[in-house]
Amino acid sequence: MLMLGIESTCDETAAAVVEDGRIVHSSAIATQFQLHEKFRGVVPEIASRAHIENIMPVIRESLDMADIALTELDAIAVAHRPGLIGSLLIGVTAAKTLAWSLGKPLLPVDHVQAHLYSVMLAEKGHLIQGKGQEGEALLRSLPSSVTCLSLPAVGLVCSGGHTALYLVNDWLDIELIGSTIDDAVGEAYDKVAAMLGLAFPGGPEIDRLAAAGNPAALKLPRSMLGRDSLDFSFSGLKTAVRYQVFGYQGKERTLDDLTDVEIKDVAASFQAACVDALFKKVSRAVKQFNANSVVMGGGVSANRGLREAFLGLPVPVHAPPMQYCTDNAAMIAGLGYVLCQAGQAASLDLDAVTSSSIPRR
C-alpha cells in the first residue's frame, strides 16, 4: 500500500510516500527556519503563510522523488494534531482535497504518536542494516506494529515543542506517563544557544560544541521533581546557565567576555544536565512499568550525547534514522498505514486540533 503523508503542524512543510508503513520511497521537506531565524522562534502567522506557498510544490516533489503518479496512491495521511492551528489547517485542507478528488481514504495522524513511530521507518534500498533487497522482503513480511521491537516500550518524545514520556502498549494504544511542566528540552537548547550567540535552531550547534567541551565545568541543576515523578522541568536549568555564565547584577559579563573554550564548556555542561535528566526519567519509567524497550523521537533524539547515554539503559533502545528525528512526513505516512489497517479512516469533516489525542494513564 502506497501512502502519501502530509505534515504541516509547525514550521516544516513536508510530504512523503511510504509503502506498507515502513519503506520510505520519498521524504520532501520545505524548511522555514530562515524566515523565523531573526525572531529566534516560530512566528505562527509567518509559518501558515509559508505553508500555503510550500504545500503543493512539496507534494509534487515527494511524488516525483518516488516516481509515482497521484493516481497510484492508495491513501492520504495527514498530521491533524497537535500543532499551530493556522499551520495545521493548510495540511489538513490539502489532504482532504486530495482524498476527496482521488476517492481515497483519509487517515488522521497525531504528530506526537508519529514521532514515536518513526523508529519503524527505513529508506527504500537501505533496510535492515544494509541487507538491501533481502532486508526489504523481510520487512514487508513483518506485521507493522511489532517487528523486532518488544512492547510495551517507554517512549520519549523530545523536541522543540514537546518533552514527554509515554507507555507504548501498541502503536494505537499509547498513554502519557509524564511531561514537562514548563519548557520543552529543545526550547531550552534553542534559548541557551541564543545566549551563546549560536545559530537557530541551536540544538545541533550545542551538540557539536559539547563534544569538545568539559561537561563538569559548570555545576548545573537536574530537576527531578520528587522521587517517583516522571515529569520534566528545564526552565530552572536555562536560568542557571544565564546566571552562571553572564553573572548577577553588578557583576555582569557579555558574550564578548567569553572565550571559545568557555563556550564549549557551557555547551558541554548544559548538554550533560539535559541528557542526565532525560536518562534518569526514562530509567525510572522503564523500572516503574517493567518495559521491554525504549523508543525515542523528536528533534532532540538526533542528539549524539543523548543517543550515546541511552546505550546505558537496561533495555534495548530504538532511535529513528537521523533524517526522521526532526519533523517529517514519512512518520505521518507510516503511522497512517497502521491506522488504515485498523479501519480508522476519517471523514471529510476532519478537524485540525491544537492538542494531542494521547490520553494520560
* Interface residues toward Zn ion, by CB under 5 A: 159, 327
Is residue 223 close enough to count as binding ligand KG4 by CB under 6 A?
A: no
Neighbours of 279 (CB within 10 A): 17
Binding mask 272-301 for ligand KG4 (x = CB under 6 A): --------------------------xxx-
**Subset of residues 75 to 104 that bind ligand KG4, contact rule: CB under 6 A:** none
Per CB under 6 A, the list member of 327, 330, 345, 356 interacting with ligand KG4 is 327
* Least spacing, CB of residue 343 vs Zn ion, in Å: 26
**Residue number with CB closer to Zn ion (258 or 353):** 353
Binding mask 182-221 for ligand KG4 (x = CB under 6 A): ----x--xx----------xxxx--x--------------
* Cα end-to-end distance, the chain, whole Å: 33
Given a contact cutoff of 8 angstroms between Cβ atoms, the answer to whether 302 and 310 are in contact is no
* Least spacing, CB of residue 26 vs Zn ion, in Å: 19
Q: How far is CA 312 from the centre of its chain?
A: 22
Given a contact cutoff of 8 angstroms between Cβ atoms, the answer to whether 262 and 270 are in contact is no
Is residue 270 close enough to count as binding ligand KG4 by CB under 6 A?
A: no
* Least spacing, CB of residue 318 vs ligand KG4, in Å: 17
Residue closest to 187 by CA, chosen among 237, 221, 224? 237
* Least spacing, CB of residue 187 vs ligand KG4, in Å: 6
Please give the Cα distance from 14 to 27 (Å, whole number).
Answer: 7
* Least spacing, CB of residue 320 vs ligand KG4, in Å: 10
Is the alpha carbon torsion for 18, 12, 116, 102 positive or negative?
A: negative
Residue 160 binds which of ligand KG4, Zn ion, none (CB < 5-8 A, kind-dependent):
ligand KG4
**Residue number with CB closer to ligand KG4 (4 or 209):** 209
How much of the chain is helix, strand and coil, in % rounded to 5?
A: 45, 20, 35
**Residue number with CB closer to ligand KG4 (14 or 75):** 14
Please give the Cα distance from 20 to 144 (Å, whole number).
Answer: 8
- Per rule CB under 6 A, count of chain residues that contact ligand KG4: 19
Please give the Cα distance from 237 to 164 (Å, whole number).
Answer: 17
Segment interacting with ligand KG4 (CB under 6 A) among 14-22, 85-93, 157-165, 241-249: 157-165
**In Å, how far are 5, 13, 16, 37, 187 from 48, measured between CA atoms?**
18, 10, 20, 16, 20
Cell numbers representing residue 344 in the block: 480508522
Given a contact cutoff of 8 angstroms between Cβ atoms, the answer to whether 213 and 265 are in contact is yes
* Least spacing, CB of residue 102 vs ligand KG4, in Å: 29
Is residue 326 close enough to count as binding ligand KG4 by CB under 6 A?
A: yes
Contacts of residue 58, Cβ cutoff 8 Å, sequence gap at least 6: 13, 14, 15, 28, 29, 30
Please give the Cα distance from 339 to 345 (Å, whole number).
Answer: 7
Given a contact cutoff of 8 angstroms between Cβ atoms, the answer to whether 347 and 89 are in contact is no
Per CB under 6 A, the list member of 161, 178, 213, 215 interacting with ligand KG4 is 161
**Residue number with CB closer to ligand KG4 (161 or 336):** 161
Cell numbers representing residue 79 in the block: 498530521
* Least spacing, CB of residue 260 vs ligand KG4, in Å: 20
- Give the interface with ligand KG4 as residue ranges (CB under 6 A): 10, 159-161, 186, 189-190, 201-204, 207, 298-300, 302-303, 326-327
